[in-house]
Structure 1
Amino acid sequence: MNDSPILVLDDDPGTVSLVREIEEAGLRCVHVESAEAFWAAYETDPPCVVLLALVVGDIDGIEILAELGARRSRASIILCSEVGGRLLDAARRSGRAHRLNILGVLKKPLAASRVLGLLPEADAFGVRDATSVRRHPVWRPGPPDLDTALEHGEITVALQPKFRCDSVALDGFEALARWAHPLHGPVPPPVFVSLAERSGLIDRLTRRVLGLACGWIGEVDSQGPGVPSALHVAVNISARSLSDPAFLDRVSGVLGDAGTKPSRVVLELTETAAMEDPRASLDLLTRLRLRGFGLSIDDFGTGYSSMLQLVRLPFTELKVDRSFVATALGSAESRTVVRSIIDLGRSLGLTTTAEGVEDAPTMDLLGELGCDLAQGYHLGRPMSPEDARALAVRAGGVGHGA
């Protein structure tokens, strides 16, 4: 089920079966094996995700990344190659230096579960291994469909818990938008978020998710003594919102209607979003901090521009990219990157959060490195507001606030 496709550039023989598995999960793929076909598909059917092999015949994937950067591509990118270690890490840094959203890097051979696991809010795809791939007819929602969904309350939220690394105490949740169409079933978040941005519906979508998150906070607080009084909820915001002069007043209005204090809400944005218009970002983010909102920079990279913007902008939280976290145990380079980001956050007085924690050894490593918070499937999958409320009631700890 999708609108924008996943555009795959790879001539590996196994890519055909990989694409078939991804399509069986309900996503649309366009598979090409040449640079000419890639750019033709990119122009005629703009992708939401690019799966890019670094070497395809005589094609240099770094050149593709440079051109995508020059075009200011908004597509999320997954890099793959037979090579591993530092060379893949270097390719990732190259992509981020071009201000591209690099979801992660994968060493071949590829599996559909590994690709889908890197996609934003991958739980919404319902695919964690080959046995869970489900067949869905292809459906492409348009602006009227999303408008109807917003009007009729089809947009809901799932809440993924965040825990302290030192004590494994519950600290807060991240609110993730979900769309369950009454006829076509779940629509992947990358699809409808991209649609909202292109169709001018992103503000309504953000207010819907924020309103549901604030309403959930009110329900938790009403449970009485013993419930963590400083639990926060994080909500993702779009780059387009940063250039909207009325965004601050609208967000404040949502919180006012729900009776929620700004200190209970963390607004997340990617580093790419923050750098689209640095001056507008600085103005709006500073005003949000003055109102008491927490601010989190997501998908943090290791390039000079990332460090510069972190110092310039008033963030309160730094999220370690899941692609670094996922490979930290097996890659000395990834461990060094994770350690460096945690140390940087600590030196700047920021809360550090690791995404994509999939097992206990990774959680132990993060504790040793001094990371503050963690989230991922090992700790808790995205859950219904009711289940999240029950978890909060059982927890009875204290969150960090903003």
Structure 2
Amino acid sequence: MTRQLVETRQITSQEAEQCANEQIQIIGSIQPHGFQIVVDSKDHRIVQYSDNTSHLIKEVSHAKINDRALLGSHLFKWLTFKEREKLDSLPTKYTVALPLTDDSVIKGSQWECVAHVSHGWICLEFTPKIPESINSSTLISQLDDMVALLKVVHDEAELFQTITAQLQSYTQYDRVMMYRFHPDWSGEVVAESVSEQESVKFLGLRFPAEDIPKQARELYKLNMIRYFANVLDTPAKLVPSILPNGEPLDQSVSSLRNMSNVHRSYLKNMGVKASLSLSIIEEDKLWGMVVFHHNTSKVPSQRVISQLRITSKLFGEIINSYLTPSFNIKELTFLMNTQSYIEAVFSQAKKADLSHSLFETILEKVNSIIHYDFIGIIYDKKCYSLKQNTFSILEQATSDALAQIFTDADMLHYESSQLYNDIGAIPGLEDMYGLSIMRTQSPIDFYVFIGRREVSKTIQWGGVPSTVDIVLKDNKRQLEPRSSFALWCQQVEGQSKEWQPRDTKFLQCFFNESKEFISLKRTQLLMNKLEKGAYYDTLTGLANRAYLRSFIENLDPNSDISFVSFFFIDLDNFKDVNDFMGHETGDKLLISISQRLNACVRPNDLVVRLSGDEFIILFAHQTPPELDLIHQLADKVASRIGEPVLDSAHTLVITSSIGIVTQSTKDIDFNETLKRADIAMYAAKNAGKNRHHIFNSKDQDSFNKRTILTMDLREHTASGDITLYYQVKVGANKQLKGAEALARWNHPTFGFISPEVFITLAEKNNLIYALGLNIIDKACSDLAYWRNISPNFDLGGPLSINISPTQLAELAFEEDLFAILERHKIDKKWICLEITESVFMKNYTVSIEALVRLRKKGITISLDDFGTGYSSLNSLWKLPIDEVKIDKSFISTMSQDRNLFTMVESIIQLCQKLNLQVVGEGIESSIEFNLLKGLGCDAMQGYYFSKPLDPETFQRNYIQI
């Protein structure tokens, strides 16, 4: 006993693949209401026929034919064509009618013949001639009426329904439905017309894509018309089953081709006995189908099939020529209006300054065209968004999440109507379920997007989609077609309305205008930045030197400004702030000073930052200013600069040196006036700083002298003309404990130049490194000479040589130093390098590392002028030094100031605990000597013992030959 069970459930991927590959026609068979003959196109001999041929001929024509007599016989033995020549020009993609005469066995009055060519074989299909219920004139009239109706119908739904009704009336099938395919290949019934005994029941329903397999859709493009006369009939077989070339007949274009068992069952499950389907092609794509169903068997006449083919082509043309252009015109009109409006919005926006409110205005105006739930622009890491008409600037997390969508560098557009499933929630836009976003690759951080909220919708299906019937027959699982077409409602959530081409075009238009707008604004900002960079200081926002020159050179002689006073301002010791406290603190100080200088001026005055810590205030006057006014203005400026500056870590007090020049606007030479103000400023600085100085002729002489000294210093440094003097250091018993080499410059014109002057000039003119090496070389040369002339020569300690922070910072210094020592055969222990605390201010880590290396190689390190800088007693233990020299400013007044005495005492005691030698500088009296001796100072140095001596005198006094 055969056991058969049916299981209906969700289709699996394997079963879906099986469905996709299901055979859609039974090869080697035809529908039995007609017969088929296949002939060789070369000799017109019969090579294949259907096994019902003789039976049908006998039944209709009452003529007897032996099937065996057909095979190999000549075609014209059995029939005669009215137009014989058509046989040699048959089409390959569709069948054409070939009228027959009544002169042969197969008579034209009894049979209709259609033919086509399949791979070189002529395929002839015969069906009994059916009396026409509609004569030709009526048929032509109905077609004319249909064309006329198509021309006047303007609504898609009306058009679809009109065509369907006309086709039902013409063909007299019980049910005619028009399907339109969706992108997922599900078919929606967009029109339905029925006979009097039926009712409309499928209109608006969708049928799942698996109901029409992919290979069936491909076949429907090849053969526009298919029909099934009776789903219950047993097919007739082709004899033989293969052609002389060994292959089966390709029946893709055949009118009589037999449908697959699955399709047959599908129609039976729908209660259909006969069917006809008509393909609708739009630009070589399967747009949809018109499906004809009948409750009893029905064979359409060849005239009906021919006219339906015309109708199918006509409707395809209507779509191509009317619907599509009409839709395109509407879309083009919309796009043109949209583009024009958006261009106008951005045209106005280009005139305004870039701001948050400008982005808000742009988004509100642009969104008024089509009203999206979300619209936004992402620029410069900010997401400007309009969410349900509410403007906001979203956090960077929003911009980052949207940017991460573009995983491919070449990806410029992303679109989804189910964002949560595809990407997930976007921070700040969590209620956005649909997103269409575009970006540009330059700048890469520019995006525009539109979005939609979730839309819950119901889709009505004619049967449950993605399900399948599995038949268990004889313990074998067999795929069956859909058995239930009951209404099934699908509730779709988590998605937005689907994006349409007009949305993409709108976004593209919005994107193009936004991109041009952003590009223009970026260019404007860059130009403004360049202009500001050319005429304004980037740190303080003050005018710069170029602006000052332009201002001076463009002064209107007829204006109220007849005289100007240049106040050239330099901040005293500002370099120490940068070096010791860092450039960030220095920048904050400069900004604060800039604000204070701006508070000192009137509308016609000008504040300028020249460079670094140098500023200019240009005070404007109508008449020559009184001297008292100049002093008052200078005191006011100095007072404001000198107010404490409160920083998060420090309270800073800084002073200024101000040089002043007053000129008539008619006589101003920009460069000369600025140079004089600079000279006056240096005069104030050289006079002790924290003061102002008005330029006079002596200042010019001083400047000229400094200029000459600078030029000569370069020459003397190269030639080694700088000489050395030596000053001894002594112990508590006045015994020799070393000496210090001191540079001296005896200028041929100006006489002896103070080291403070020429060392400062050397540092400012990048001569200090070469000068320092010359000094070390001279000291080592003298030391080597003294040791050669006096084998027992002993200074009692090392020879001290001062080095600058610039020398120590040079990478080559260590190598150059040891090369000099090696050249003069000087032991490293005979040399002590004296440094000041400023060494540690510029680059603490580098300086420490350099000193550690020098000490490890035997060089003694002495910290000079201790107490005058930023070092504290608590930091001494961190420094790689061997000796501390207490500055003479402490020594000279410690006998009168108890606090200073305590300070010196503390320094000596701490150094003793740290095993550091202590040297007291600038000893000029026995009181100072005895106090230091009593405190346990290791060595002392000063005029009380000896002034600095030239090499010959030092040799004469301290070297025994």
What TM-score comes out, normalization by structure 1 length? 0.64
Contact 1:230–1:264, Cα closer than 8 Å, also in 2: no
Q: Structure 2 CA distance, aligned partners of 1:195 and 1:203? A: 12
User: What is the Cα deviation at residue 390 of structure 1?
Assistant: 2.1
Q: Structure 2 CA distance, aligned partners of 1:312 and 1:385? A: 37
User: What is the Cα deviation at residue 64 of structure 1?
Assistant: 7.4
1:1-400 → structure 2 map (5 Å cutoff): 43=614, 59=639, 63=643, 138=702, 139-140=705-706, 141=708, 143-164=710-731, 166-228=732-794, 230-301=796-867, 305-393=871-959
Q: Structure 1 CA distance, aligned partners of 2:869 and 2:756? A: 25
Instruction: Return closer, same or farther for 1:338/1:228 CA change in 2, 3 Å cut-off.
Output: same
Letter of the 1:358 counterpart: E
Task: Using the TM superposition, name which of 361-370 and 257-266 deviates more.
Answer: 257-266
Instruction: Return closer, same or farther for 1:205/1:301 CA change in 2, 3 Å cut-off.
Output: same
Q: Structure 2 CA distance, aligned partners of 1:349 and 1:318? A: 11
Contact 2:838–2:869, Cα closer than 8 Å, also in 1: no
User: What is the Cα deviation at residue 243 of structure 1?
Assistant: 1.7
**SS of equivalent residue, structure 2 residue 614:** helix
Task: Using the TM superposition, name which of 235-244 and 277-286 deviates more.
Answer: 235-244
User: What is the Cα deviation at residue 231 of structure 1?
Assistant: 3.8
Q: Structure 1 CA distance, aligned partners of 2:801 and 2:953? A: 18
Contact 2:741–2:779, Cα closer than 8 Å, also in 1: yes
Q: Structure 2 CA distance, aligned partners of 1:284 and 1:148? A: 30
Q: Structure 2 CA distance, aligned partners of 1:175 and 1:153? A: 15
Letter of the 1:355 counterpart: E
User: What is the Cα deviation at residue 331 of structure 1?
Assistant: 0.8
Q: Structure 2 CA distance, aligned partners of 1:246 and 1:70? A: 36
Q: Structure 2 CA distance, aligned partners of 1:326 and 1:149? A: 35
User: What is the Cα deviation at residue 154 of structure 1?
Assistant: 2.0
- Return the structure number with greater helix share: 1
Instruction: Return closer, same or farther for 1:160/1:60 CA change in 2, 3 Å cut-off.
Output: farther
Letter of the 1:182 counterpart: P
Task: Using the TM superposition, name which of 172-181 and 333-342 deviates more.
Answer: 172-181
**SS of equivalent residue, structure 2 residue 746:** strand
What's 1:19 paired with?
none
> Which protein has greater RCO, CA pairs closer than 8 Å, 6+ apart?
1
User: What is the Cα deviation at residue 70 of structure 1?
Assistant: 6.7
Q: Structure 1 CA distance, aligned partners of 2:723 and 2:758? A: 13
Unaligned regions of 5+ residues in structure 1, if any?
A: 1-6, 10-34, 46-55, 76-111, 116-136, 397-402
**SS of equivalent residue, structure 1 residue 296:** strand
Q: Structure 2 CA distance, aligned partners of 1:231 and 1:275? A: 29
Instruction: Return closer, same or farther for 1:273/1:223 CA change in 2, 3 Å cut-off.
Output: same
User: What is the Cα deviation at residue 285 of structure 1?
Assistant: 0.2
User: What is the Cα deviation at residue 206 of structure 1?
Assistant: 0.7
Letter of the 1:366 counterpart: L
Superposed CA deviations along residues 265-321 of structure 1, whole A, max 9, x for unmatched, are 111111122232110111100011011111011111288843344212210000011
Q: Structure 1 CA distance, aligned partners of 2:775 and 2:832? A: 13
Superposed CA deviations along residues 333-372 of structure 1, whole A, max 9, x for unmatched, are 1100110111111111011000011101110010000001
Instruction: Return closer, same or farther for 1:327/1:150 CA change in 2, 3 Å cut-off.
Output: same
Instruction: Return closer, same or farther for 1:142/1:327 CA change in 2, 3 Å cut-off.
Output: same
What's 2:298 paired with?
none
**SS of equivalent residue, structure 1 residue 314:** coil
Letter of the 2:715 counterpart: T
Contact 1:298–1:318, Cα closer than 8 Å, also in 2: yes
User: What is the Cα deviation at residue 262 of structure 1?
Assistant: 1.4
Letter of the 1:344 counterpart: L
Instruction: Return closer, same or farther for 1:62/1:192 CA change in 2, 3 Å cut-off.
Output: same
User: What is the Cα deviation at residue 392 of structure 1?
Assistant: 2.1
Instruction: Return closer, same or farther for 1:182/1:152 CA change in 2, 3 Å cut-off.
Output: farther
Instruction: Return closer, same or farther for 1:246/1:304 CA change in 2, 3 Å cut-off.
Output: closer
Q: Structure 1 CA distance, aligned partners of 2:748 and 2:615? A: 30
Task: Using the TM superposition, name which of 277-286 and 308-317 deviates more.
Answer: 308-317
Give the paired residue count.
291
User: What is the Cα deviation at residue 159 of structure 1?
Assistant: 0.9
Superposed CA deviations along residues 169-210 of structure 1, whole A, max 9, x for unmatched, are 011111111111222222221111111112211111111111
Q: Structure 2 CA distance, aligned partners of 1:223 and 1:344? A: 40
Q: Structure 1 CA distance, aligned partners of 2:838 and 2:950? A: 30
The alignment yields a C-alpha RMSD, in angstroms, of 3.6
Letter of the 1:159 counterpart: Y
Contact 2:728–2:740, Cα closer than 8 Å, also in 1: yes
Q: Structure 2 CA distance, aligned partners of 1:388 and 1:65? A: 50
Contact 1:271–1:306, Cα closer than 8 Å, also in 2: no
Instruction: Return closer, same or farther for 1:61/1:359 CA change in 2, 3 Å cut-off.
Output: farther
User: What is the Cα deviation at residue 232 of structure 1?
Assistant: 1.8
Q: Structure 2 CA distance, aligned partners of 1:324 and 1:286? A: 29
Instruction: Return closer, same or farther for 1:243/1:369 CA change in 2, 3 Å cut-off.
Output: same
Letter of the 2:614 counterpart: E
User: What is the Cα deviation at residue 158 of structure 1?
Assistant: 1.0
Instruction: Return closer, same or farther for 1:364/1:63 CA change in 2, 3 Å cut-off.
Output: farther
Letter of the 1:145 counterpart: D
Instruction: Return closer, same or farther for 1:336/1:144 CA change in 2, 3 Å cut-off.
Output: same
**SS of equivalent residue, structure 1 residue 222:** helix
User: What is the Cα deviation at residue 375 of structure 1?
Assistant: 0.6
Letter of the 1:163 counterpart: V
What TM-score comes out, normalization by structure 2 length? 0.28
What's 1:87 paired with?
none
Q: Structure 2 CA distance, aligned partners of 1:255 and 1:63? A: 50
Contact 1:157–1:384, Cα closer than 8 Å, also in 2: yes
Contact 1:227–1:393, Cα closer than 8 Å, also in 2: yes
User: What is the Cα deviation at residue 72 of structure 1?
Assistant: 10
Instruction: Return closer, same or farther for 1:162/1:217 CA change in 2, 3 Å cut-off.
Output: same
